């Protein structure tokens, strides 16, 4: 009401209803100013007596006469936002994720070679697959190696890129939070089934992967008795009666693994949970996912002998896998699956030992050391040597070609393995009645020998 009265008196003065003497209006002006100052004083006193809990501020009005803020008396004060006094939200309390004792050690190892190479060297891996794509299809034809009944899995480049990105992320931030376990589960779910991997290139072959469930019952279902397999492999007791100490020990990061050893492809890559088994010239691939629980057990037992880790892994680790590859491969896969492809397609068909992650860079570095199939060696070295000596696989497969002696030795060695005869070094292969070669692999070798 006070404010309205002041404005009315100014309106009267502006319209000229005064007598010309402005003393009366000036006195009224003075009284109004005193009343305004009194109001401001009381307002300030009321502010000091308000509770400390902030409340949303009301819009501030400026006096038309003096342009001062009626509430704080400041000159040329700007209008205050209605939400200026709203308190900010309290900061989020982020509780640290508890790190188990083994995780810092694993995370440090991600930055050391060859683990860093594993994470970033996809181009080197693809170059190795490019070399393998020239595998002699005339020798290993589709009719010779029948594909077992499997569920189809369309393998376009987009699907494989998505699988690769998920696999890369789930291992790279391993142990950071619970989401990493979920990412691992996605990859494991996609790989824990029988499927056909079909290449994006029409001329490439379809690769059949036979998956065996991760249980002892699953191993028995594929005609494999683990104790019978472990005996001749780890202790050589069935093969020659020699002790474990007399066997040559594989060197770390070596491209050579003595036959009869159950070995990890690379000691520093053991967290990937891969192991290869050489069994009478045949390669079986054992895989378990690199979940935190598996990695914890592996890091606590990484100094144990190889033959002591594998049986214990069946009881402890999650998701033990035993797989066979029934055809050669030439397609894009995640890094850990490349192990399976190269190991199966070459070691199973050529009886050549394959054991190391160093094979990834063989094609790029130009390492070529020709080794006969009966004496073991690097399968990629053999393939690269053959490729460098000839122009096409048609020339390689000629009777008088560079691969003639190699193929002859491979066939004779396979015959000795299947028939139980003596190999070149004099060892006698005594086949256990409990152990049988997987039917698809046995059929494939027999068909190849009859070709």
* Contact between residue 290 and residue 273 where contact means Cβ atoms under 8 Å apart: yes
Q: What local confidence, expressed as pLDDT, does residue 300 receive?
A: 52
Tell me the torsion sign for CA atoms 191, 157, 127, 107. negative
Phi, psi of 191 (to 5 degrees): -95, -15
Task: Please count the CA atoms within 13 angstroms of the CA of 334 that sit on its side-chain side.
Answer: 21
Q: What local confidence, expressed as pLDDT, does residue 439 receive?
A: 41
Q: Per-residue confidence of the chain (451 residues) as pLDDT tens digits?
A: 444 444 444 444 444 444 444 444 444 445 556 777 787 787 777 766 655 555 555 554 544 444 444 444 444 444 444 444 544 544 444 343 333 333 333 333 333 333 333 333 333 333 333 333 333 322 222 222 222 222 222 232 333 333 333 333 333 333 333 443 443 333 333 333 222 222 233 332 322 333 333 333 332 222 222 223 233 333 222 223 333 333 333 333 222 333 333 333 222 222 222 333 322 223 333 334 334 444 444 445 444 334 344 444 444 443 333 333 333 322 222 333 333 333 333 333 222 223 332 332 222 222 222 223 223 333 334 444 444 443 333 443 344 444 444 444 444 443 443 333 333 332 222 222 222 333 443 444 344 444 4
Joined tokens for residue 442: 């046995």
Q: What local confidence, expressed as pLDDT, does residue 58 receive?
A: 57
Joined tokens for residue 33: 């100013």
Q: What is the DSSP letter of 146?
A: P
- Separation CA 269–CA 448 (nearest Å): 34
Which H/E stretch holds residue 197? strand 195-198
**For tokens 């094979």, what's the residue?**
359
Buried b (16+ CB within 10 A) or exposed e, 120-142: ebbebbeebbebbbebbbebbee
Q: What local confidence, expressed as pLDDT, does residue 55 receive?
A: 58
- Separation CA 84–CA 55 (nearest Å): 10
**For tokens 């070295």, what's the residue?**
381
Q: What local confidence, expressed as pLDDT, does residue 59 receive?
A: 53
* Contact between residue 83 and residue 58 where contact means Cβ atoms under 8 Å apart: no
Q: What local confidence, expressed as pLDDT, does residue 52 receive?
A: 56
**For tokens 């990859």, what's the residue?**
187
With a threshold of 0.95, does the pTM exceed it?
A: no
- Separation CA 321–CA 313 (nearest Å): 11
* Contact between residue 234 and residue 307 where contact means Cβ atoms under 8 Å apart: yes
Buried b (16+ CB within 10 A) or exposed e, 96-117: eeeeeebbeebeeeeeeebbeb
Q: What is the DSSP letter of 151?
A: E
Q: What is the DSSP letter of 249?
A: P
């Amino acid at each position: 009401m006070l404010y309205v009265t002041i404005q009315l008196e100014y309106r009267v003065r502006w319209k000229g209803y005064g007598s010309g003497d402005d003393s009366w209006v000036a006195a009224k002006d003075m009284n109004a100013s005193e009343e305004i100052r009194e109001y401001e004083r009381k307002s300030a006193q009321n502010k000091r007596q308000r509770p400390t809990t902030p409340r949303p501020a009301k819009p501030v009005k400026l006096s038309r006469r003096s342009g001062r803020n009626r509430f704080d008396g400041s000159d040329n004060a700007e209008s205050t936002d209605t939400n200026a006094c709203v308190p900010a939200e309290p900061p989020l309390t982020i509780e640290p994720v508890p790190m188990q004792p083994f995780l810092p050690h694993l995370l440090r190892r991600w930055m050391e070679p060859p683990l860093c190479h594993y994470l970033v060297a996809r181009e080197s891996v693809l170059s190795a697959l490019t070399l393998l794509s020239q595998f002699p299809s005339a020798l290993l034809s589709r009719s010779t190696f029948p594909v077992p009944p499997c569920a189809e899995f369309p393998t376009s480049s987009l699907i494989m890129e998505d699988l690769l990105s998920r696999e890369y992320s789930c291992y790279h931030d391993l142990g950071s939070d619970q989401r990493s376990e979920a990412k691992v589960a996605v990859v494991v779910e996609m790989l824990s089934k029988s499927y056909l991997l079909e290449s994006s290139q029409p001329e490439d072959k379809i690769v059949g992967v036979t998956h065996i469930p991760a249980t002892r019952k699953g191993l028995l279902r594929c005609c494999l008795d683990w104790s019978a397999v472990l005996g001749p492999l780890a202790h050589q007791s069935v093969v020659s009666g020699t002790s474990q100490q007399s066997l040559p020990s594989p060197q770390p990061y070596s491209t050579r693994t003595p036959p009869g050893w159950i070995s990890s492809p690379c000691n520093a890559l053991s967290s990937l949970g891969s192991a290869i088994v050489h069994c009478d010239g045949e390669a079986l691939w054992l895989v378990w996912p690199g979940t935190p629980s598996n990695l914890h057990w592996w890091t606590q037992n990484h100094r144990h002998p190889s033959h002591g880790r594998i049986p214990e892994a069946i009881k402890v680790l999650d998701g033990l896998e035993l797989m066979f590859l029934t055809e050669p491969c030439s397609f894009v896969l995640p890094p850990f699956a490349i192990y399976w492809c190269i190991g199966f397609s070459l070691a199973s068909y050529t009886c050549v030992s394959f054991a190391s992650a160093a094979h990834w860079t063989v094609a790029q570095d130009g390492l070529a050391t020709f080794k006969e199939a009966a004496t073991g060696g690097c399968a990629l070295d053999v393939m690269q040597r053959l490729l460098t000596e000839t122009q096409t696989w048609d020339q390689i497969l000629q009777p008088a070609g560079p691969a003639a002696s190699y193929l002859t030795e491979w066939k004779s060695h396979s015959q000795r393995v299947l028939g139980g005869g003596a190999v070149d070094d004099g060892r006698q292969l005594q086949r256990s009645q409990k152990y049988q070669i997987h039917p698809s692999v046995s059929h494939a070798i027999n068909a190849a020998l009859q070709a």
